[in-house]
Structure 1
């Protein structure tokens, strides 16, 4: 199936909401049902999710819920899903989830300040670290095969050895919650974004905060590295993408204004030139960087905020979660245009 749209140019505001785009006549509801619905699977989580993660080598996806529960599902190419685990992981909201140990365990971080490792086969706790942070844990990412990084509500970022179960690094990097992080293996740098409107660069080798950007007027909510390491892209609360040049972090070098009428909650790198953006209005879009343009809409969550995006291990599926309590798994092979210059909606800004 060729999942593409007639070539045309539309204003950025027309892409602020997929329902608005559909109602505009550029894309019909029949197109929506035929192309998006056929390539999309929905899993009703029953409660609002905070985070999700795909298994590194199998067709499994985990979801962290506001109730403190952890869910694990098996998904298939035939749009079917099976719940494998439902675990009461934390006493308060489960805010972050990732797979560790080659996918043998799931690690979660919580508002209750604890970190938990859970066996994916039995659902039993492998290890729990109480009071891992002084404040509620907000974010968690994989750093290496045996290390993870966590960020809390007061701006502290920590790196943990999951095998030794010890803290390797601790950084007082921000003055507000750590919204997102990403790691650069070549330089040993951990980058973080925060509700205080700053981007931080932490050096794991020297255990120091190397630099921090000037304060932005808006909260920074997401971060990815693109252009072969030359650009750092941050999503902000006002719908603007801030582009920083590597090594020049004090102020952004470029801005992509008008991508969304409200916050860009999460970013997922597609390749060195394209990123997938999830926005507060529920729209998920493919966005080109330098030149800055919206390439095509991918999916939506009925105008509910997008909490997290992720790729399956084979990059054939895109996962998304939102306040609508749904985990959606979208077939990328059916959703992406065949080429960047193919038939797709292009917005010039």
Structure 2
């Protein structure tokens, strides 16, 4: 409050009060206060999240798949649970949990429209669930005499499955006989021999993966005995079987617009045989030099593969021509068991024996600057996988410990 003072000459002077620093406006303090960025010379704000946080489960995760039409991820754990999660770049929420089974689910696959989920179980059964309600729509209680390892829906009528004994079966899952389950008031379709349209035992070890082209002509199965076997879907007979490799074949994926087939091998040499589609008797190329066994692989583009290794690393490389890029992510030296690629190709999910589902944003793989020779992540080291860390990797190299400090031309600070 101002004061009016009368001077000796009769004039009046108005004296403004001196502002008290203890009672000054807080907004003025914020404006005058120095920001941490100005003091230390670097940005203290947290970076914006580009991938969902890790999903923690009560037990190990065996398999996972992304929904083909929505931002959803289905996860199968070793205790017989199947959970569906909604995800975004900031969070992931549990959307649906399917009825728990006493057995273990090892094979997962969505239908083309994402309305149905096909699953194979260790007790030899096959199940088909609705993704809208989670209800059990179809079941094959004794589909295989051994545990089912892989499943693959082919058309609106047909699905394929492979078991631990090397048997591949083809099913017409629309053939049905209505049976009322005691635990449900709704009828569930129970399949017997009428739904089985093909059964071939050509291998002596487990069927690790199944794949089919868009023309629905060939069904190809990889096995733990180290062979690739193709089946004709028209004649429903064996077409070709290649010579036996020295290690199990674990996974397959298409490259070059489904003209080539890349196969992962569980070998210390880490070989990747390449087959020409339709000619499965012998590979046309083979790429060596991978540091560990390959457990899973997905194709980000027609030539770019992302592979999960037994040493806990997830690596990216180009095929035809071959070029190694670097480490996409890691699971702390635990074997990475499964990989899944989202519908837009920008999100990668992986699981291991650490009870975690980890997400990796691999959108940078599609940028043009990734194909240049002078990339930032290639300049970090000339040799060694540990130094070739791609931007999605959550572990930094030791040489990057002081990478967030300002350069000499950006200012400097001193320790007391």
Q: TM-score range by the shorter chain?
A: 0.7 to 0.9
How many Å separate the matches in 2 of 1:105 and 1:186?
21
For 2:322 and 2:132, how far apart are their aligned partners in 1? 44
| Distance in 2 of aligned mates of 1:248 and 1:52 | 30
Q: Distance in 1 between matches of 2:211 and 2:248?
A: 17
1:242 has 2:273 as partner: yes
Does structure 2 conserve the Cα–Cα contact (< 8 Å) formed by 1:298 and 1:336? no
Match of 2:151? 140
SS of corresponding position for 1:345: coil
Aligned CA RMSD, in angstroms, stands at 2.6
Task: Determine which of 228, 231, 239 is the counterpart of 1:199.
Answer: 228
Query: Match for 2:93 among 66, 82, 92?
Result: 82
Q: Does 1:53 align with 2:53?
A: no
Task: Report the CA distance shift for 1:50/1:242 in structure 2 as closer, same or farther (over 3 A).
Answer: same
Show CA shifts across 1:178-237 (max 9, x none): 001110122510111110100111111110110001000100101122223332211111
Task: State the distance in 2 between where 1:288 and 1:59 align.
Answer: 27
Equivalent-residue separation in structure 2 for 1:120 and 1:311 (angstroms)? 19
Determine helix, strand or coil for the equivalent of 2:222: strand
SS in 2 for 1:144: coil
- Using a 3 Å threshold, how does the CA distance of structure 1 residues 305 and 36 change in structure 2: closer, same or farther? farther
- In structure 2, C-alpha distance between the alignment counterparts of 1:208 and 1:171, rounded to whole Å: 8
Number of residue pairs the alignment of both structures matches: 314
1:167 is displaced (CA, Å) by: 3.0
- Which has the larger share of strand? 1
Structure 2 partner of 1:158: 169
**Residues 1:49 and 1:97: Cα distance change in structure 2 (over 3 Å):** same
- Correspondence for 2:114: 103
Distance 1:76 1:36, change over 3 A: closer
Q: CA deviation at 1:293?
A: 2.2
* Counterpart mapping for 1:24-63 below 5 A: 39=51, 41-63=53-75
Residue 92 of structure 1: which of 103, 111, 132 is its match? Answer: 103
Equivalent of 1:317 in 332, 343, 347 = 347
Query: Structure 1: how far apart are the matches of 2:357 and 2:122?
Result: 21
Distance 2:336 2:329 in 1: 11
Q: How far apart are the structure 2 equivalents of 1:345 and 1:143?
A: 41
Report the CA distance between 1:173 and its aligned residue: 3.1
* 1:129 lines up with 2:140 in the alignment: yes
Indicate if the aligned counterparts of 1:90 and 1:110 stay in contact, CA closer than 8 A: no
CA contact (8 A) 1:36 1:299 kept: no
The corresponding residue for 1:19 is none
Change (3 A) 1:279 1:158: same
Contact 2:68 2:112 in 1 (8 A): no
User: Whole-Å Cα distance in 2 between the matches of residues 139 and 147 of structure 1?
Assistant: 15
- Please give the secondary structure, in 2, of the residue aligned with 1:72: strand
Q: Decide whether the 8 Å contact of 1:101 with 1:146 is kept in 2.
A: no
1:314 and 1:193 map into 2 onto residues whose CA distance is 27
C-alpha distance in 2, partners of 1:216/1:298?
28
Q: Normalising to structure 1: TM-score of the pair?
A: 0.82
Give 3-state SS (helix, strand or coil) of 1:63's partner: strand
**Per-residue Cα deviation, 1:271-317 (whole angstroms, up to 9, x for no partner):** 22111111111211111112222123211111221222122222231
Asked if structure 2 preserves the Cα contact closer than 8 Å seen for 1:240 and 1:260, the reply is no
> Is this contact kept in 1: 2:52–2:92, CA < 8 A?
no
Note if 1:185 corresponds to 2:197. Answer: no
8 Å CA contact 1:169–1:204 kept in 2: the answer is: no
**Structure 1: any 5+ residue segments left out of the alignment?**
1-33
The reply to whether residue 264 of structure 1 matches residue 294 of structure 2 is yes
Q: Is the 8 A contact 1:104 1:120 kept in 2?
A: yes
Question: How does the TM-score come out when normalised to structure 2?
Answer: 0.69
Give me the whole-angstrom Cα distance separating, in 1, the residues matched to 2:64 and 2:118. 11
Contact kept, 8 Å, 1:89 with 1:116, in 2: the verdict is: no
Where 2:54 maps in the other structure, the secondary structure is strand
Q: Secondary structure at the match of 2:82?
A: strand
